[in-house]
């Protein structure tokens, strides 16, 4: 039987990020992907001007009540971009009510990058997100988000000492494991992982690819979420996610399409279906 994951994040009608990335990536990895859209946007928020937005927060209670009546249980709950504190609270409530016993909570605290918060967020939101991250089975911030959550000063030169220190703080706050993405090491980039229970540190790097594309963080988080839902190790799925993001960037760089639409991850979904088949053999 397929594992079933519930992902809670927005959907952009144009531009590849959030749910338009999560659903195909998770599905390609052999996991049934159920969705709760937090909002519908005409486009994503980078490069298309101000989008039209329909906030779906008023509908959350109805969705959750119906699932509870059905007795639905999800093998994992995975949150991405959340618009406000009420949506953060919803993720916590959903995990308690419709998460299967022992189901992992995977949190991508998508709220900042390049040293600053996304438009519309403030430190009160950061504080609320900090509480959700502390409850996560695995939390997946980028360097900027990790600095905000841990109270560290943001540094572009994120060396191992700096990154490991933030990972330790994330786990000390309550997360069972923490991953920091977008870590640069010379001409390489990748992600670093700390297992909060064993204290084991792991990092995965590949040659840095240019240019960058909107939505690659969502690709990374979705690969990790699907792998964790299938019971794969955190080290295994982090390495797979770094490798797949690189594949997507390389495939995109040879195409003439504008970068604002996101990476051409569709061309590389076969990589994930083959990986899913390999996992099935060993499960």
Query: What CATH number is associated with residue 216?
Result: 3.40.1190.20
pLDDT at 214 over 90: no
- Determine the pLDDT at residue 120: 86
Residue 237 per-residue DSSP state:
H
Q: pLDDT tens across 133-154, in order?
A: 999 999 999 999 999 999 999 9
pLDDT band at residue 245 under the 50/70/90 scheme: very high
Task: Say whether pLDDT at 211 is over 80.
Answer: no
Tokens of 127: 């504080």
Residue linked to tokens 């190790």:
233
pLDDT digits (tens, 9 = 90+) for 251-275: 988 777 788 899 999 999 999 999 9
Full residue range of the structural domain in which residue 155 is found = 3-282
pLDDT at 246: 93
As for how many domains the chain has, the answer is 1
Residue closest to 17 by CA, chosen among 205, 283, 259: 259
C-alpha span between 93 and 76 (Å, rounded): 13
First to last CA, the chain: 12
């Amino acid at each position: 039987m397929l594992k079933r994951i519930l992902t809670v994040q927005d959907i952009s009608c144009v531009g590849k990020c959030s749910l338009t990335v999560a659903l195909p990536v998770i599905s390609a990895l052999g996991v049934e992907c159920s969705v709760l859209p937090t909002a519908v946007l005409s486009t994503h928020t980078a490069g298309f001007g101000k989008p039209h937005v329909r906030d779906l927060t008023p509908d959350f209670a109805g969705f959750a009540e119906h699932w509870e009546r059905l007795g639905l249980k999800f093998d994992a709950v995975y949150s991405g971009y959340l618009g406000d504190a009420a949506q953060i609270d919803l993720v916590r409530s959903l995990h308690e009510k419709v998460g299967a016993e022992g189901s992992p909570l995977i949190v991508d605290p998508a709220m900042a990058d390049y040293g600053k918060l996304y438009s519309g967020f403030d430190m009160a939101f950061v504080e609320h997100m900090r509480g959700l991250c502390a409850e996560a089975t695995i939390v997946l911030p980028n360097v900027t988000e990790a600095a905000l959550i841990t109270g560290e000063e943001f540094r572009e030169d994120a060396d191992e000492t700096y990154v490991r220190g933030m990972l330790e703080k994330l786990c000390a706050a309550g997360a069972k494991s923490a991953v920091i993405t977008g870590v640069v090491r010379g001409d390489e980039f990748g992600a670093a992982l700390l297992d909060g229970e064993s204290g084991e540190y792991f990092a995965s790097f590949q040659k840095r690819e240019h240019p960058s594309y909107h939505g690659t963080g969502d690709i990374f988080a979705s690969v990790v979420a699907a792998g964790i839902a299938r019971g794969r190790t955190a080290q295994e799925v982090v390495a797979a996610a770094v490798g797949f993001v690189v594949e997507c960037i390389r495939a995109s760089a040879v195409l003439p399409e504008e970068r604002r639409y996101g990476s051409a991850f569709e061309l590389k979904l076969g990589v994930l279906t083959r990986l899913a088949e390999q996992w099935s053999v060993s499960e």
